[in-house]
Each structure stands twice: as C-alpha cells, then as structure tokens.
Chains A and B, each alone.
Chain A
C-alpha cells in the first residue's frame, strides 16, 4: 500500500532573533558541572555565557556565567521530547540564536569539541552533532540499527544520530519543539526524538565533528532500552515514509574514523551467553518470528542456530532484511508492538555475537559497521517494495 503523505515544502529561512548561545545542561554532579564550566569558559573566553541547568547553584558560584533554571528531565541517557520543548521555550525567552544541549557526562568533552559544536550552529549549520571516538564494545544498538537505518533511509552519514550532546540553530529547535509537542500533548514527553530525521526532512544543514573519546551516560538494561529506542524510531520512519521512499544520494564519506584497539585475549568478550539466548529464542520464538520474517530468513536463522560459536556469522544482508521485516511488521501491526520489539532482542544479540566474532578474527570494527550500513542501503529496495506491496509473495 503506498503511503499518501505529502512531502512538506522546503522551509523558508528566517533571521533568528536575539544573539548569543544558550547552553542547556542536563542534571549532573558538582564535579562534572565544574569540568563542563571550565571547558565552556575555555571555549568562549570573552563571552558571557547563558547557562540553563536543573541543578540548584549558588548565585555567585560562577561569576562568568549567567545561570537560569531549566526543568529537570527524568531520562539521563537520551534527549526526550519534553527537553526539546523546554529548550526552545528557554531560547525564545532569552532571545538566544542557538542552543548547545549537553548531557550528564559532557564533562568528558574537550573545550575544542564544545567550541566546534557551538560555532557550527552559530555560523552555518542547523544541527551539529558530535562523532564520539568509536569503541568496539559500546554503542552497539547505534551500530547495529540506528546508524544503518538513518543512513539508508534518510541519506545521512551521522554516526551517532541519538547523541546526547548537540547544537541546534533556533529554527532547528523550533522544528524539534513542534515535533515534540505531538508527544507532550499526549503525556509521552519521555519519548526520544530523532533530530537527524527531522533535520533531513526539513532540508536543514547537518554537521558532525570528531570530539574524541567520551563517556556516555548509563542506560537501562537491554530488555528495556531496545523497545524504548526502536519503537519511537520505527514510528518516526513510518511517519516520514513519503520522504524516504524517494531515492536521495548519500553525502560523501568523511575521513576515516580512528580504529578502536583490537580486542586481546583478555579483553575479548564471551559471546556464549548471547549465543545461548539466541538458540533459546530460536526454539521458543520460532512461531512468532514466522509471523514477521519470510521463509528464506527463517531458514538462514535455522542454519545459524546450528552453527558453532567461533563460526557464528550473521550475514549483513540477513540482518538488514530482519530489521526491515520488523519495521514492516511494526507498521502493519502484524503482532502486538511490544511483543514484536521483544522478539527482536535475541536477534540483535545474535548480531552482537557475530560482530564480536568478526572483530575477534582481526577485522576492523568500523569497517564491519560500514559494511552493515551498506547492506542496509542495498536492501532498501526490498524494504520499499514490501512497504508498498506488503501482501505480495515473499519467499
């Protein structure tokens, strides 16, 4: 079934009111706050900075800053719809030209990184995102699903589409606040938003900067976080179907990212629990998977379940098709959405186990993630075809 959503007209640029940068901080410990303030004052030595924070500070604690109170957020691991609404309201109230939103672990970002993010949104970009130094054992949901899907469907090379530290121009903040109000209006203010998707659909300029190694805030456990992230992402993709079904060229690749150190025998991850989780799921969830996946994918999963640990490899194209089939089932409500996202978890663990096997064999982790993203691009035709004609025969 073809989606009849119309593509919005390109936005007309408007001159931002006021001047200056609003820095919106998440709740953090005094030590982290100290570090962030030190980096900020080093980044902008001659400017009076406007800082909004939910933490209660003494009035004269930081004389170089103009401190205002920001509403506290319940979620430290990602930026939520409610935070984007309050960011835009604060920017309007204080006539800011741009906003720099910093997460609870932003003390680990250097002053040059902060300066680059802020300068980009003050000068030319609408959305400035950090590109954290990759780690082979961290950000795996991002590497397996968020980055490849965003790249394939929205033609964006942003490596961390859901970064907690980002810079926004005023019109980008308004765009995000408008999108966020859909959720806050129905008391779902804790839902994560997808700034890259919004910016791409609106035709805004996006830039990303290498910010070096960074500590990420602690996130909930996998069984909680995967549905929390993937559900809103699938919803957003469904809402923007008219945009991504058209072909758009991918921007040129950035310079090669730093290669994370190869795992040694001591640091190599034990994939046995992930494999047993996948095998247990294969023997129990086969009936549910068969409602979502085509027979060909099920056959490949059957072979995979019988594979030994060291030889365990989930092919990139199979993984891409699995994610696309789950996205389609989410759209069609083939089964309850909570059940659907729960049934994806063991398959994701199979991808993680396969990824660790690949990097243990000496391959470059970033190279594998790029290969996965390329497979998502290749399989996009499959996705578009099934999106438009879901009832067509699919072996």
Chain B
C-alpha cells in the first residue's frame, strides 16, 4: 500500500504523454513501412508478370486474327466447291447431324481451334513469367485450373440432368403414369446431387464430409422415390393384377373377346 502511494506520488503527466506520442508515431511508421513494402512487392510482381500478360494478349489477338482469316477462306473455298450439297447427298438422313451446315461447322472449328492455340501459347508465355515471379502464391494457377474443370463438370451435369429429366417425363407421360413429374424431378435431383458432390470433390472442399453427405442424400432420394412409387402405385399394381386375372379368365372362356380400344389401329 505504501509502495503504491509512493508510485502515485512519483507520477509525472507530461512525461507520460510524451512517451505515448512517441509510441503512436512508431506504430504509424511501422504501418506505413508495411504498406510501402506490400505495395512495392505487388508493383514488382506486376512488373515481373506484365510481359507475360502482354505476351498472352498478343498471342491471343494474333491467333484470333489468323483464325478469322482462315475461317473466311475456308467458307469461301467450301462454298465454291459445293461442299454442303455433297455432304447432304451422302449423309443427309443422319439423325445426329448438326443443325448448322458443314461449311459453317468446319469454319467454326478452325476459328475456335486457332483461339485455343492462341490461349495455349499465351498461357505458356504467362507461365514463363509466372515462374520468375516467386512472390506469387504457388497454388494460384492449379487452383484456377481446378475451378475451370469444376465449372465444366457443373455445366455437363446440369445438361445431363435436364436431358434425363425430360426423357423420363415424356416417357412416363406417354406411359400414362400419374407420378410422371415426380419421377422426372427425382431423376433430375439425383443427377444434380451427384454432380454437386463431384464438383466439391474436385475442388477439394469438405473432404470426407462431402462423400458422406452425398451418400446419405443420394440414398435418401432413392429411398424416397422407392417408397413413393411403391406406396403410390400399390392400388395401380393391384388393379393391374386383378385386370390381368380377369382377362385371363375371360379369354379362357371366350377367346374372341376384344376391348373397344383394340379396334383402333394408328397405322
């Protein structure tokens, strides 16, 4: 208690404020230094990769121009040679034929092929400058690649889900199944869930949790569908069995009996 009183008596306010001010100035100076160093690092990084970016853009521009020129030349040449008519004569009935004409298709393939080539060369040039820029986080490009691949997976999965959902819906409606929409939605979500799990797995997000969650969700959807279809169509199945039994007994008694619908011949 005596020591505390002595200390309080020795306290000098002017000296204390001076030391606090000096401490603040030191913090500001340190912060400014840190910002300065960070800015310098980023600027030097940009200067280091700027040639790579420029090389990427120049390569892309040059190959785009080459692609446009090649595409135009091909269009002219193939049109003059009546390539479309020749192909139509030989393969006109193909179900999987593309909607555009073969000439346009070939021209587009060459155009986009050139752009792809430009991209590859540009990325190689960028990669060379990237290797010299050691301060860039080493996982940036692989991460970007994974993101692009995941996006492709997502698009493909969504397209497949929509295609399968429509196929099931139309097929089920034409079979006159009352739960056609439910079945279609089930298939769509099964594929979407599978796609989402694949995308997350590819992005290495979530680790084992994704796999487990996917298994549980997938199993849940299948079980729900099975229960819904099984319970929902119980009456249908029993009616079908009854009518089959009745039909068998009637046909054994009078084989020539036909229903009114049998008389309709569509072709």
Contacts and interface: CB of A to CB of B under 8 A. Distances in A.
B19 to A, nearest CB: 75
B90 A280 contact: no
A140 interface: yes
A270 B90 CA distance: 46
Contacts of B264: 137-138, 140, 269, 352
Given A185-B91, A216-B267, A239-B88, A343 B170 contact: yes
B92 A239 contact: yes
A32 interface: no
B180 interface: yes
Contacts of A268: 260
A346 interface: yes
B24 interface: no
Interface residues of A, number: 52
Interface in A211-257: 216, 219, 222-223, 225-226, 229, 231-232, 235, 239
Given A285-B169, A335-B166, A342-B171, A188 B265 contact: no
A277 B93 contact: no
Given A185-B90, A188-B94, A342 B170 contact: yes
Given A137-B264, A140-B266, A346 B173 contact: yes
Interface residues of B, number: 30
A185 B99 CA distance: 20
Contacts of B99: 332-333
Contacts of B85: 6
B176 A223 contact: no
A332 B95 CA distance: 13
Contacts of B263: 137, 267, 269
Contacts of A333: 99
A219 B264 CA distance: 12
A182 interface: yes
Contacts of A29: none
B178 interface: yes
User: Closest 7 A-B residue pairs measured CB to CB?
Assistant: A342-B170, A138-B265, A219-B267, A183-B93, A333-B99, A182-B93, A182-B92
Interface of A: 6, 77, 81, 135, 137-142, 182-183, 185-186, 188, 191, 216, 219, 222-223, 225-226, 229, 231-232, 235, 239, 267-270, 273, 276-277, 280-281, 283-285, 288, 332-333, 335-339, 342-343, 345-346, 352
